[in-house]
Structure 1
Amino acid sequence: MVSFEEIEEVYKRLEGRLKPDEFKSMVEEKVIMMNGLCDSKTAAMLVASELGLNETIKIKDIAPDKGGVVFIAKVISIGDIHEFSRSDSSTGRVVNITFADDTGSIKAALWDEASDLVKIGDIKMGQSLKVKGYIKEGQRGLEVNVGRGGNIEHVDKAVAVNLEPMKINDIKSGMSGLNIIGRIIDTGKVRAFQRKDGTTGKVTNLTLGDETGKIRVTLWDSKAESADFKIGDTVEIINGYARENTFSNQIELQLGSGGNIMKSNTAVDYSETFTQIADIGINSAYSVTGHVSGLDEIREFDRPDGTKNKVSNIYVSDDTGRIRVALWGEHAELVNELDIGSEISIIDAFAKPGRNEEIELSAGARTRIQVLRK
């Protein structure tokens, strides 16, 4: 049963359009219909929206207490349609779309019949739409839910979008709804993996740079499969979210089905920052440049899972010091190409305590190595 106290605040906005018991009954019916996907207050907001609380507002004015809202905005990203099973054994569908206007952006979840508009191609990137839904606090902030009682209409006018990109150096862990423009300075291979539910996912990585720094970007599933980018391309990322990698202690950007990545014609300046060897600390990634002052042989070994791997060690020196660098996997073969005195740049190697408590660098899958002169 729904407590009227929980929905009284929403009821007051109806300004006497129906009796309290009638409103409560409609909310209880909505809770049952949504099959536990929303609480009583959210159901009350949806009912209020259906009753006509639908003044058009700007995205920046959308707040938790607005309940049902109507806004006109442009589609800037479309996610994948996900199917799920309800407790009554019926199948539900949902897709996430990011909308933007000249005041900001917001994510919208389109449920069931509303999600079919994406499936049949009625909703596409760049369209201007009038959206009617209700507000809910999501995992990464406010979002609009469009289900029964909601509505999507095409609007025959252009919507100006003002998405100010964030500089890479200003990104902090936990931020969401991030928009950045950067130049691709490294790409990775698309990898398949098994989820806990037995389905197969796809993932790949890019590294982007701007004039303030660089950041590793992880693309998931359809974004990974469609990632047709090369080093040197400039791209714009819309609706990413940031989190800290507990291994590298660095902030990384994640781009799932609710985000988007596209090529951009914007000019972006980037130059790699190299650290002098004497200034390297532990438990962080560094880029160094210098000459090879020592070479060891390749050593093969068995991993705990029974597969084989290989490693070799080199020593790199600059004007401030000398450091041991462990080259793992494919990097290990580099010792066959180098000589004492070869000039080399090692980008994004992880620093950790080594022999005799000396700091050493570990060059793994995330590391790029450039031989400047053999």
Structure 2
Amino acid sequence: MPKLMDANSIIKLIVAKTGRSEVDVRGLIEDKKEKFAGLLKDDGAAYMVARELGVDVDEEKKGILIGDLVKGMRNLTLTARVLHVYAPKKFEKGERKGRYCKVLLGDATGQIMLTLWNDDIEKLGKIECGSVVTVKNCNVGEFNGKLSLTLGFNGEVVLAEGIDESVLPKSKHISARLADLADGMQNVDVFARVLHVSEMREFERDGEKAVVVRFEVADGTARLQAVAWRNLAEKASKLYAGELVKIEGADVKKGLNGLELHLGSRARIIERPVAPFEIPGLEEITGKKFSRKKISELKAGLENIEVVGEISGILKGNLLYNFCPQCKKKASGSTCEDCGAQTRQRAVVSLQVDDGSGSISCSLFGKAAEVALQMSTIEIANKLKEVGAENLIAELKKRIIGRTIIVRGNTSQRMINPEEIEIIGSDALLLRHKEEIENLLKILSEMNP
């Protein structure tokens, strides 16, 4: 592990780089120590003076140790292991709104929390728990009586290179395949493929409203339900079938239908990670293959087809209907007339889709409707209360007409006009160009082995 340069070495470097006298530099160091009321040692004070004078001490070494940090230090570089990444949270204080994400770092001398604010969260990228990182241009502050780090101007978090990891603490996360999970396991990390994402649901606990999303994952060894709570629910709701994810910091609990992964405030979802082992594709796991067709090729009675086209219209409708989760069918009111269960509101929309060869009506329900409209059922319900269905559809037309969408499902005759056919959609995806290019390359490779 790299060590902090001693004060004498830093002084010589400052003199060489700036042309200042040694007496002048030592005076600046003593002033800095006095400012920190004796809490700062010669090495740390010399390091701070060097940075303030624009002397890049990091050219000579890779950073300061956590145990040498003192409140007020600025523009530091340190190297440590990522011990845990907490789920990003939203905050609202007065007129200020934003997000923050906490990252626990550790080296041979201690641990410290790095807080990333707003756009800085994206600088974490796909860095995983257990990775060794170098944090550049960070500042030392204090929160709840403990030292903490934030990124300064142009600060960044990057994977470290050439570091002796043997002296760094290990992450306490447990990496496992889905088939190896057991009830009660905590801080579990898994790689898996998303099979299905349910609609976001709202619930109330201790007088507070929150949201939850269920989604199914598989890795070739097992399939199970994952449950994302509160802050992670919004991210989970945007996952799509077939996407590869890494779930970090989940807890394993026994649900009604087997084991479940629960993603709370300590969990995290990383999209499109590099998995250490091969995970089967969606078609192999589900045994269902969708055949891509031109709209002009469609006829009634086709199953498991998909079309790619632009949204050219939204048909009139209520956008929501009552759905019984027990009977799995439409209900007329808040209580199911068949089983007596409480119904839920579910999104529904009929889109006109055009692929250049023709145009077709697509009826989408639940999550598929949410994806197409880019609104959750909760958001649709709230907006309907404000403006009504007609005005909301007018707003949606401005936002989504012209977007490219993939619709999967079966074809049938339209009830209102049997001479026309429609797609009853089971899934909808917004076109992702990178995935489309990869699919085309795969098809070409199969054609030309």
TM-score scaled to structure 2, two decimals? Answer: 0.34
Structure (1 or 2) with the greater helix fraction = 2
Structure (1 or 2) with the greater strand fraction = 1
